[in-house]
């Protein structure tokens, strides 16, 4: 399995270099500009798009997911529910198509430090047919763990020594996108998530696939969607396929995270993008979504949410 992953990574590396050669030859023949208006914002619900504003632009991101709608009108379909998640973020464009950012989430008080680089942009004459973007983050679980008694599975009876290292998690993603028509833009992505600390039996590593897109229905409005699938790859799973409750006391797995589906509507203006949506994962940090999401795509699990971005140029 490790060989398969290695081949995939090598393949992607070769592909990106092929695009690079195309770009160089394009410069010689004729300057081909990037396509216009592929995305209105760098965010698409919880996910990233290939869009990066112009250099020296500061972007504020406000993400809010309410509680699930399963209680109906008693808590206004989750809007007044105590559960929910919020992420506030700031991104800054340091160089052409390079952005760095920081965000803090309510769930586990994650502090995430992220970077995004759109390596290639789809061009109008199709000399570069797709957008190629890489995104990565490192997050610190900021919860107060001093009062939490964690069971030490390795040495039962001993108190678990929760260290700073246990707070760290990582996410890396390669995004390939294309503006198909003036109305439709789509993206596919592959990601790798790692968390240093997970519940017993759960996997520390997760490979995921992501599909998302935007269908414009008016000059400022678009229907948007995200679908994120955590893959079940036995080769990198720490869960042994032969485990059962007899040979492994306490085992009632297997433990695999659920996929996330979200869909909504986007309205954009000169400096804002406003997205209102419904999604089944309470997570906003992408590695949290890919590793820890245990709420499946069931109508009762969906929650209303919104994402707002605001730009300031300097």
Partner 1 sequence: MKKYRNLLTLSVVVFVGSLLLSFVTVQDQKDPAPWDVPEKYVKMENPYAGDESLDRVGKILYIKHCRSCHGNNGEGDGPKAASMKTKIHSMTAEAFKKQSDGVIYYQSIIGRDEMPNYESKIPDEEDRWALVNYIKTLK
- Binding of partner 1 by 220 (CB under 8 A): yes
Q: How many residues does the chain have?
A: 314
User: Residue 160 has what DSSP assignment?
Assistant: P
Residue list 282-311, contact with partner 1 (CB under 8 A): 311
Binding pattern to partner 1, positions 132-171, x when CB under 8 A?
----------------------------------------
- Binding of partner 1 by 269 (CB under 8 A): yes
- Binding of partner 1 by 71 (CB under 8 A): no
Residues linked to residue 59 through DSSP beta bridges, in sequence order: 91, 311
State which of residues 4, 17, 244, 271 lies at the interface with partner 1 (CB under 8 A).
Answer: 271
- Binding of partner 1 by 123 (CB under 8 A): no
Shortest CB 126 distance to partner 1, Å: 16
- Binding of partner 1 by 80 (CB under 8 A): no
Shortest CB 130 distance to partner 1, Å: 20
- Binding of partner 1 by 126 (CB under 8 A): no
Residues contacting 309, CB < 8 A, separation 6+: 41, 42, 43, 59, 60, 61, 62, 272, 273
Shortest CB 41 distance to partner 1, Å: 12
Rank residues 182 and 200 by Cβ distance to partner 1 and give the closer one. 182
Omega within 30 of 0 (cis) for the link into 254: yes
Residues contacting 66, CB < 8 A, separation 6+: 77, 78, 79, 81, 83, 84, 303, 304, 305
Residues linked to residue 275 through DSSP beta bridges, in sequence order: 266, 307
- Binding of partner 1 by 3 (CB under 8 A): no
Distance CA 121, CA 131 (A): 4
State which of residues 47, 268, 287, 301 lies at the interface with partner 1 (CB under 8 A).
Answer: 268
- Binding of partner 1 by 127 (CB under 8 A): no
State which of residues 7, 13, 37, 151 lies at the interface with partner 1 (CB under 8 A).
Answer: 37
Dihedral-angle region of residue 117 (phi above 0 means left; psi in -120 to 50 means alpha; beta otherwise): beta
Q: What does the block give as tokens for 153?
A: 């599975």
- Binding of partner 1 by 30 (CB under 8 A): no
Residue list 49-68, contact with partner 1 (CB under 8 A): 53-57
Contact criterion met (CB below 8 Å) for 231 and 207: yes
Rank residues 43 and 311 by Cβ distance to partner 1 and give the closer one. 311
Q: What does the block give as tokens for 23?
A: 């770009």
Nearest Cα residue to 258 out of 291, 211, 210, 286: 291
Binding positions for partner 1, rule: CB under 8 A: 33, 36-37, 53-57, 182, 219-220, 268-271, 311, 313
């Amino acid at each position: 399995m490790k060989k398969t992953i290695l081949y995939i990574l090598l393949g992607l590396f070769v592909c990106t270099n092929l695009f690079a050669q195309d770009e160089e030859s394009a410069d010689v023949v004729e300057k081909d500009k990037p396509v216009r208006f592929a995305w209105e914002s760098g965010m698409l619900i919880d996910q990233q798009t290939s869009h990066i504003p112009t250099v020296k632009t500061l972007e504020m991101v406000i993400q809010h997911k309410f509680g699930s709608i399963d209680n109906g009108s008693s808590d206004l379909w989750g809007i007044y529910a105590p559960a929910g998640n919020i992420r506030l973020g700031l991104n800054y464009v340091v160089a052409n198509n390079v952005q760095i950012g920081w965000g803090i989430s309510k769930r586990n008080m994650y502090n995430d430090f992220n970077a995004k680089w759109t390596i290639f942009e789809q061009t109008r004459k199709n000399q570069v047919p797709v957008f190629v973007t890489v995104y990565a983050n490192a997050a610190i679980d900021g919860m107060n763990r001093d009062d939490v008694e964690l069971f030490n599975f390795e040495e039962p009876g001993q108190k678990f020594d929760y260290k700073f290292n246990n707070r760290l998690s990582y996410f890396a993603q390669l995004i390939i996108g294309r503006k198909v028509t003036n109305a439709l833009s789509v993206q596919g992505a592959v990601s790798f998530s790692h968390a240093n600390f997970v519940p017993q039996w759960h996997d520390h590593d997760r490979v995921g696939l992501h599909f998302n897109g935007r269908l414009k229905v008016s000059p400022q409005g678009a229907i948007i969607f995200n679908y994120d699938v955590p893959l079940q790859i036995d080769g990198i799973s720490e869960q042994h396929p032969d485990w059962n409750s007899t040979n492994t006391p306490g085992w009632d797995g297997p433990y695999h995270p659920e996929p996330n589906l979200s869909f909504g509507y986007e309205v954009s203006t000169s400096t804002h993008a406003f997205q209102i949506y419904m999604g089944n994962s309470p997570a906003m940090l992408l590695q949290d979504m890919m590793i820890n999401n245990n709420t499946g795509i069931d109508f009762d699990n969906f929650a209303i949410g919104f994402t707002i971005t605001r730009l300031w140029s300097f």
